[in-house]
């Protein structure tokens, strides 16, 4: 046989009707044992593979769950995907991973694709603001769960972390170690999570009158962004004694760049990352970082999909609370922890617009 075997071929070999073969494939328990044995043998003999897509279209029940990730090269999203995949497998579902690489057009294309395939549910780490495509998914009855998103809605569920609190924790810790000239490194303000982490950093700095913050933007979100940020700070003469990187990959690049200078970490420059994945993923055990769950994000997202699909439940939001994990990269001996006094928060200056205050090793060595 030069073509793929069909349902009719199985029926002919088994000596039964096409409808009985169809019943066996869709509802095995409804077919008698003698006929079931004949059909099973025919399927094995012909190498017949049931058309899952056709079955799903008939039943309206897909076993495919889609995860549209912001950037799978980011260890955080890779870990979220692992958690989602494990829980999906337990539920008898297959997880399909799509990477937008931070591109809104790619995100829209994937949303449309999975809408057409009538997937069981969509887990989405959105690029920017929520768009009409998400509304289309929910209108089609496809449960939609947003990852790392602070926007609430009665149309979709979400799993997130308090990013503003995480940014505040990072800078409060640097302040407690005596840092007063702090750079917030990585990302751009159009990424909601980065914007919130910067907001939290600004809030922490505003409570310390002699603290100055500067932002170093980067389109990339990997170690190269951290190396470039340090190079730009050195070239500008900006005095910095603390660096908060918006993810651990960027923080790894910061540490690499500082290691090539005569600056000491943390004595001259203390460093804090975000996501707390450096030890497990990057092999860096000394990096202080803001911790929140990783695989649990994915597990919770699949739970919300199942919850909505099985019980038509009202969408809800799950929020994790971040914690600061202090390690060697920021721990200074004898540092005071009394650093906050009331003040008013202000906008963060960029590297290009900030003033150069008093002399410091990053500028004067």
Contact status, residue 315 vs residue 153, Cβ threshold 8 Å: yes
Which pLDDT value is given to residue 138? 78
The three-class DSSP label of residue 29 is helix
| Cα–Cα nearest to 66, from 104, 94, 91 | 94
Cβ neighbors of 339 (< 8 A, separation 6 or more) are 172, 175, 176, 207, 208
- For the stretch 152-198, pLDDT in tens is 667 778 999 999 999 999 999 999 999 999 999 998 888 888 999 99
Which pLDDT value is given to residue 95? 94
Contact status, residue 10 vs residue 42, Cβ threshold 8 Å: yes
160 alpha carbon, distance to own chain's centre? 9
Which pLDDT value is given to residue 309? 72
Contact status, residue 278 vs residue 284, Cβ threshold 8 Å: yes
66: which strand partners?
96, 122
Contact status, residue 94 vs residue 114, Cβ threshold 8 Å: no
Q: What CA dihedral angle connects 229, 323, 334 and 344, to 10 degrees?
A: 70
For 9, phi and psi rounded to 5 degrees? -65, -40
| Cα–Cα nearest to 244, from 166, 191, 321 | 166
Q: What is the pTM of this model?
A: 0.73
**Sheet with 121-124, edge to edge strand ranges:** 94-99, 64-69, 121-124, 144-147, 157-161, 317-320
> In terms of DSSP H, where are the helices of the chain?
7-14, 18-26, 33-46, 52-59, 75-90, 104-116, 132-139, 163-176, 192-206, 223-236, 248-259, 295-311, 361-364
Give 77's Cβ-side CA count (13 Å radius). 24
Length in residues, the chain: 365
Rounded-to-integer distance, Cα 49 and Cα 349, Å: 61
92 φ/ψ sector (left φ>0, alpha ψ -120 to 50, else beta) = left
Contact status, residue 84 vs residue 301, Cβ threshold 8 Å: yes
Which pLDDT value is given to residue 350? 56
Residue with tokens 């090269």, as numbered in its chain: 73
Which pLDDT value is given to residue 364? 43
Which pLDDT value is given to residue 329? 95
Q: What is the DSSP-derived secondary structure letter of residue 28?
A: G
- State both tokens at 359: 């002399």
Rounded-to-integer distance, Cα 4 and Cα 2, Å: 7
For 290, phi and psi rounded to 5 degrees? -85, 120
Rounded-to-integer distance, Cα 188 and Cα 196, Å: 11
**pLDDT digit string (tens) for the chain, length 365 residues:** 556 788 888 899 999 998 888 888 777 778 888 999 999 898 888 888 765 555 554 445 578 899 999 888 888 888 999 999 999 999 999 999 999 988 888 988 998 888 878 888 999 988 876 656 677 787 777 888 998 876 666 777 899 999 999 999 999 999 999 999 999 999 888 888 899 999 999 999 998 888 999 999 998 888 999 999 999 999 988 889 999 999 999 999 999 999 999 999 999 999 999 999 887 766 788 999 999 888 999 999 999 998 887 655 778 889 999 999 999 999 987 664 433 333 333 445 555 444 334 444 454 44
Which pLDDT value is given to residue 357? 42
């Amino acid at each position: 046989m030069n073509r793929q075997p069909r349902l009719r071929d199985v029926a002919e070999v088994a000596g039964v009707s096409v409808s009985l073969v169809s019943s066996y494939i869709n509802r095995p328990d409804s077919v008698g044992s003698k006929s079931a044995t004949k059909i099973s043998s025919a399927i094995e003999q012909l190498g017949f593979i049931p058309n899952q897509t056709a079955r799903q279209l008939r039943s309206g029940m897909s076993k495919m769950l889609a995860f549209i990730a912001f950037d799978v090269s980011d260890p955080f999203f890779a870990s979220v995907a692992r958690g989602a995949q494990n829980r999906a497998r337990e539920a008898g579902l297959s997880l399909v991973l799509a990477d937008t690489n931070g591109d809104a057009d790619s995100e829209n294309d994937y949303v449309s694709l999975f809408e057409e395939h009538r997937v069981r549910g969509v887990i989405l780490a959105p690029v920017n603001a929520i768009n009409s495509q998400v509304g289309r998914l929910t209108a089609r009855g496809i449960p939609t769960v947003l990852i790392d998103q602070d926007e609430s809605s009665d149309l979709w569920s979400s799993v997130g972390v308090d990013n503003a609190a995480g940014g505040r924790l990072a800078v409060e810790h640097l302040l407690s170690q005596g840092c007063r000239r702090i750079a917030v490194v990585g990302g751009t303000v159009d990424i909601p999570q980065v914007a919130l982490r910067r907001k939290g950093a600004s809030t922490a700095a505003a409570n310390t009158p002699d603290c100055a913050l500067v932002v170093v933007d980067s389109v990339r979100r990997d170690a190269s962004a951290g190396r470039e940020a340090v190079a730009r700070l050195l070239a500008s003469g900006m005095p910095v004694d603390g660096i908060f990187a918006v993810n651990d990959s960027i923080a790894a690049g910061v540490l690499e760049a500082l290691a090539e200078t005569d600056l000491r970490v943390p004595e001259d420059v203390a460093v804090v990352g975000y996501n707390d994945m450096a030890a497990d993923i990057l092999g860096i055990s000394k990096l202080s970082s803001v911790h929140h769950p990783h695989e649990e994000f994915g597990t919770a997202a699949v739970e919300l999909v199942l919850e909505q699909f099985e019980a038509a439940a009202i969408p809800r939001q799950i929020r994790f609370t971040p914690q600061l994990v202090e390690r060697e990269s920021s721990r200074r001996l004898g540092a005071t922890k009394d650093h906050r006094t009331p003040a008013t928060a202000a906008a963060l200056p960029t590297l290009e617009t900030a003033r150069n205050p008093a002399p410091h090793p990053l500028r004067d060595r």
